[in-house]
Structure 1
Amino acid sequence: MAATGKIRQNKTAIQEKLSDDHVLILNKVFENGLITKREYKNLKSIQGENVERHVVELVDKIMNKGEDTCQKFLDLLQTDEDIKSTYPELRDILWPNTSLSTPVQASSSEHSDAPSQEKRRKEDEQYQLKSQPTGLCVIINNEKFKYMKQRLGTDKDAESLAKVFSWLGFRVLMCEDQTMDQMDQALKCFASLSDLSQLQKFGVKEWSENRFTDLQESPPSLKHGDAFICCILSHGMSGVVSGTDGDPEVGGIEGKHLFIRDIRRTFKATNQSALTGKPKVFLIQACQAPQGVKRLPKHRGVPSKDLQADGSHPTYIPEEADILVAMATVDDFVAHRNIISGSWFIQSVCEQLDWGCQRGDDITTILHRVNMDVSEKEGGARPGEVKQMSEFTSRLRKRLVLTPQQK
Structure 2
Amino acid sequence: METMGPSSKSKNNILSQIQNLHSEDLPYLERDLCFAEKVSLAFLLFGNTKANNLFALQKLLALYMNQNLVSDILFNFTRENKKNWRFCLIEALAIIKAHKVLRKLGVSKYEYEITFLPYRPETSLSIHPVLKALYFVCENLSQSETQALLCEVRRQIPGNNFNFSDSSFLEIFLLDWMTSSIIEIGEWPDDNSGSKKPNMKIITNFLKVYGKDTLKDILESACKYVSEKNERKEDARLVNDLRNLSIQSQYCVPTAESSSSYQSGTEIDYAEHDIYKLERGNAGFALIINQYEFYEEKDPNLRNLLPESPFKNREGTMKDRDALKETFEKFGYISQAKNNLTHNEILAIIRDYVKKSIIFDSLIICILSHGLEGVVYGSNSIPVKINDIEEILASSKELYKKPKVLIIQACQGTQMQEADTLECDSPMEYLKAIGLIKNESIKNYSKEIKANKLFLGDILTVISTVPGYASFRDKGTGSWFIQSLCKKINNFGHRKHFQDIVTGVINEVSGMKSKQNLCMVPQQRSTLTKSLWLPKI
Question: Could you state the TM-score of these two structures normalised by the residue count of structure 2?
Answer: 0.42
User: Which residue matches 2:279?
Assistant: 130
User: Which residue matches 1:184?
Assistant: 347
- Looking at structure 2, the residues matched to 63 and 388 of structure 1 have their Cα atoms a distance apart, in angstroms, of 26
Closer, same or farther in 2 for the Cα pair 1:238/1:260, shift >3 Å? Answer: same
Shift in Å, 1:192 = 2.1
Alignment of 1:288-327 (within 5 A): 288-289=412-413, 294-295=431-432, 297=434, 319-327=455-463
User: Which residue matches 2:529?
Assistant: 397
User: Which residue matches 1:210?
Assistant: none
- Looking at structure 2, the residues matched to 63 and 332 of structure 1 have their Cα atoms a distance apart, in angstroms, of 34
Alignment of 1:43-58 (within 5 A): none
Closer, same or farther in 2 for the Cα pair 1:61/1:335, shift >3 Å? Answer: closer
- Looking at structure 1, the residues matched to 373 and 533 of structure 2 have their Cα atoms a distance apart, in angstroms, of 30
Contact 2:358 / 2:398 at 8 angstroms: preserved in 1? no
Shift in Å, 1:380 = 2.5
State which of 397, 403, 406 in structure 2 corresponds to 1:279: 403
Establish whether residue 243 from structure 1 lines up as the match of residue 367 from structure 2: no
Moved >6 Å (runs of 4+): 61-71
User: Which residue matches 2:469?
Assistant: 333
Shift in Å, 1:161 = 0.5
State which of 263, 280, 304 in structure 1 corresponds to 2:389: 263
Give the 3-state SS of the residue equivalent to 2:493 in structure 1: helix
Give the 3-state SS of the residue equivalent to 2:376 in structure 1: strand
Contact 1:296 / 1:334 at 8 angstroms: preserved in 2? no
Structure 2: any 5+ residue segments left out of the alignment? Answer: 1-237, 243-253, 296-309, 415-426, 436-453
Contact 1:135 / 1:223 at 8 angstroms: preserved in 2? no
Give the 3-state SS of the residue equivalent to 1:267 in structure 2: helix
User: Which residue matches 2:512?
Assistant: 377
Question: Could you state the TM-score of these two structures normalised by the residue count of structure 1?
Answer: 0.54
Give the 3-state SS of the residue equivalent to 1:377 in structure 2: coil
**Larger relative strand fraction:** 1
- Looking at structure 1, the residues matched to 256 and 386 of structure 2 have their Cα atoms a distance apart, in angstroms, of 41
Structure 1: any 5+ residue segments left out of the alignment? Answer: 1-31, 35-57, 72-117, 194-221, 247-255, 299-317
Give the 3-state SS of the residue equivalent to 1:175 in structure 2: strand
**Larger relative helix fraction:** 2
CA RMSD of aligned residues (A): 3.2
Shift in Å, 1:189 = 1.3
State which of 453, 470, 486 in structure 2 corresponds to 1:350: 486
Alignment of 1:164-243 (within 5 A): 164-193=327-356, 224-243=359-378
Shift in Å, 1:238 = 1.2
- Looking at structure 2, the residues matched to 184 and 124 of structure 1 have their Cα atoms a distance apart, in angstroms, of 32
Contact 2:354 / 2:363 at 8 angstroms: preserved in 1? no
- Looking at structure 2, the residues matched to 61 and 329 of structure 1 have their Cα atoms a distance apart, in angstroms, of 27
% of aligned pairs identical? 28
Closer, same or farther in 2 for the Cα pair 1:182/1:67, shift >3 Å? Answer: same
Larger radius of gyration: 2
Alignment of 1:29-40 (within 5 A): none
Alignment of 1:86-125 (within 5 A): 122-125=271-274
Shift in Å, 1:61 = 6.2
- Looking at structure 2, the residues matched to 288 and 259 of structure 1 have their Cα atoms a distance apart, in angstroms, of 11
- The one-letter amino acid of 1:286's match is A
Closer, same or farther in 2 for the Cα pair 1:296/1:158, shift >3 Å? Answer: farther
User: Which residue matches 1:145?
Assistant: 294
- Looking at structure 2, the residues matched to 159 and 322 of structure 1 have their Cα atoms a distance apart, in angstroms, of 27
Aligned length: 244
Closer, same or farther in 2 for the Cα pair 1:278/1:149, shift >3 Å? Answer: same
Shift in Å, 1:185 = 1.1
Give the 3-state SS of the residue equivalent to 2:529 in structure 1: coil
- Looking at structure 2, the residues matched to 163 and 236 of structure 1 have their Cα atoms a distance apart, in angstroms, of 25
- The one-letter amino acid of 2:480's match is W
Shift in Å, 1:366 = 0.7
Shift in Å, 1:296 = 6.6
Shift in Å, 1:223 = 5.6
